[in-house]
RNA sequence: GCGUCGGUGGUGGAGUGGUCUAUCACAACAGACUGUAAAUCUGUCGGCUUCGGCCUUCGUAGGUUCGAAUCCUACCCGACGCA
């Protein structure tokens, strides 16, 4: 018996998109679905009850962060992440592969998950100059990655096996293979080299996982596809990860699509990969979650998304998603605006508070502001994706997409 | 009434003869944020601007000086002390 089951209910005619049901040991997820990010065993500002209340089905925690603090052994003793953080629903853990990137090639360089090269402040530096200056906290070797803890400076070595061991201790329903998320600033030669390494690490992750029968029966393992912006590498990676087997014939239970992108490359990369991946297994687009990207992903066959944007935008300066686009609640015009953030929104924040009140909380630096804005943003994106699911089942996804972008401007 | 100290841009508070439109912090205003190094970060913050500058500011009014937020005089205001 496999730890998860995935059934497709309905497809978008003429596209890769589909609506499905993902069954895990801790419950089902109606896909496509938005995954709430809870890196350090907490979705920032949200109790599990609030997550449930706003329609959250599943959360994603982080291997690297929890290994450093409080330690995966401690979480194992606590009875696993579900018990430790009080979330009894479906849960995934990321492998630490993103930190290879964010604490490595991207460290101190202002490079993030999605780059906007049209913005002059985000010009992609040449590789030669990208290596100057700031010392990295993550250094890649062929066997694994050395991390210098961003908390206390201590040195740690993470291998694919170590990532699996940590994720076994954490005990999420779905875990990810250890990968290297590459920067779009790397040239093709490096992308290729990194891809071979990611594939080798994927195989080691798969082998290690299936050597631990207890875990393999309770935790699903997703392989991660990389390959940057290059079509050949992306397709090759998707095929290779999809066909990867242990000696006993065990395979990945699903797939992650990873990488740091230029905005324009995102669409093509997702399409190339999903054209190659086997239809019957779930696909997770790692770290993506702006509304326009969610539509693109769903249309192109992505089943799961996670993104820090809703909580980070909410918490930092009260930037909230609305049907008309982003609203920055601290802008002067909202100080005496006694309407809800969105009058037709069903979230707790919109049903109970005004823009003026939220503006006040942010100006006064009261933590409830961050919480209420997070509630709204998580609701907005979660609800947006679940509405896309309904529309796929109704057969009206294209109409819904068109209607959404008639009012939404970024 | 006498004495002492002090009055700097929205606020607090640097500066004590030229490099001063005046450090810094806060507030304000605008922006960024996509597998969280993030309750973080960036920019603006006297007026005008053809963005090269120009004009006006450090309680008020005079004065010294090539040059004053900085020195002198008078006045106004505040705190404290003494009558």
Per residue in A194-217, pLDDT (tens digit) is: 999 999 999 999 999 999 999 999
pLDDT of residue A132: 52
Nucleotides of B under 7 A from a protein CB: 27-41
Instruction: Provide the pLDDT for residue A410.
Output: 75
328-347 of chain A touching strand B, CB 7 A cut-off: 328, 330-333, 335
Average pLDDT, chain A: 94
- Angstrom distance, A111 CA to B42 C1': 15
Q: Please give the nucleotide, over all strands, whose C1' is closest to the CA of residue A316.
A: B39
Task: Find the helix packing angle between A367-394 and A309-317, rounded to 10°.
Answer: 150
Distance A367 CA to B74 C1' (A): 55
Question: Which among A43, A21, A40, A23 is positioned nearest to A32, based on CA atoms?
Answer: A21
Map residue A28 onto helix, strand or coil: strand
The C1' atom of B19 and the CA atom of A317 lie apart, in whole Å, by 39
ipTM reported for the complex, 2 dp: 0.92
Q: What pLDDT does residue A108 have?
A: 87
CA angle A298, A25, A219 (to 5 degrees): 85
Q: What is the pLDDT of residue A405?
A: 97
- Indicate if the pLDDT at residue A373 is higher than 90: yes
Question: For residue A134, is pLDDT > 80?
Answer: no
> What pLDDT is stored for residue A130 in this prediction?
40
d(Cα A204, Cα A254) in Å, to the nearest integer?
16
Domains of chain A: residue spans and CATH: 5-305 (3.20.20.105), 317-407 (no CATH)
Q: Is residue A3 over pLDDT 80?
A: yes
In the 9-68 segment of chain A, residues within 7 Å (Cβ) of strand B are 37, 39-40, 43-44, 60, 62, 65
Lowest mean pLDDT among A107-111, A171-175, A202-206, A291-295: A107-111
Nearest alpha-carbon partner for A208 in A238, A171, A179, A178:
A178
Strand order across the beta sheet in which A27-31 lies: A5-11, A18-24, A27-31
Model confidence at A109: pLDDT above 80: yes
Say if residue A127's pLDDT is above 60: no
- Is any atom of strand B within 7 angstroms of residue A366's beta carbon? no
pLDDT at A311 over 90: yes
Q: From the Cβ of A114, is strand B under 7 Å away?
A: yes
Residue A38, pLDDT > 70, answer yes
């Amino acid at each position: 018996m496999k730890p998860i089951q995935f059934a497709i209910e309905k497809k978008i005619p003429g596209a890769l998109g589909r609506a499905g049901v993902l069954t895990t040991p801790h419950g089902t997820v109606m896909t496509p679905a938005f995954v709430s990010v809870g890196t350090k065993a907490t979705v920032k500002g949200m109790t599990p009850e609030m997550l449930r209340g706003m329609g959250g089905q599943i959360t994603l925690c982080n291997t690297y962060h929890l290994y450093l603090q409080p330690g995966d052994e401690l979480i194992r003793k606590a009875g696993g992440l579900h018990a430790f953080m009080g979330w009894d629903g479906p849960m995934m853990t990321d492998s630490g592969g993103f930190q290879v990137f964010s604490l490595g090639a991207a460290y101190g360089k202002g490079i993030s998950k999605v780059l906007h090269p049209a913005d002059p402040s985000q010009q992609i530096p040449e590789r030669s100059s990208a290596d100057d200056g700031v010392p990295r906290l993550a250094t890649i070797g062929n066997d694994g990655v050395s991390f210098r803890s961003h908390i206390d400076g201590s040195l740690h070595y993470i291998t694919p096996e170590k990532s699996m061991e940590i994720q076994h201790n954490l005990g999420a329903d779905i875990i990810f293979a250890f990968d290297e998320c590459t920067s779009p600033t790397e040239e093709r030669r490096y992308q290729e080299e990194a891809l071979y390494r990611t594939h080798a690490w994927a195989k080691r992750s798969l082998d290690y996982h299936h050597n631990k029968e207890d875990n393999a029966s309770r935790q699903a393992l997703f392989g991660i596809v990389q390959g940057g912006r290059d079509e050949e590498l992306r397709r090759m990676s998707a095929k290779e990860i999809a066909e990867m087997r242990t000696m006993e014939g065990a395979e990945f239970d699903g797939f992650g699509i990873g990488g740091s992108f230029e905005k324009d490359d995102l669409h093509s990369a997702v399409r190339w990969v999903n054209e190659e991946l086997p239809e019957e297994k779930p696909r997770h687009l790692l770290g993506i979650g702006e509304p326009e990207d969610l539509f693109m992903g769903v249309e192109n066959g992505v089943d799961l998304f996670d993104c820090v944007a809703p909580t980070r935008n909410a918490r930092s300066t009260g930037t909230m998603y609305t049907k008309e686009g982003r609203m920055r609640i601290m802008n002067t015009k909202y100080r005496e605006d006694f309407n809800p953030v969105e009058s037709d929104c069903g979230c707790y924040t919109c049903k109970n508070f005004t823009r003026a009140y939220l503006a006040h909380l942010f100006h006064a630096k009261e933590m409830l502001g961050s919480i209420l804005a997070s509630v709204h943003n998580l609701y907005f994106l979660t609800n947006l994706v679940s509405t896309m699911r309904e529309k796929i089942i109704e057969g009206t996804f294209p109409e819904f997409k068109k209607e959404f972008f008639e009012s939404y401007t970024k």
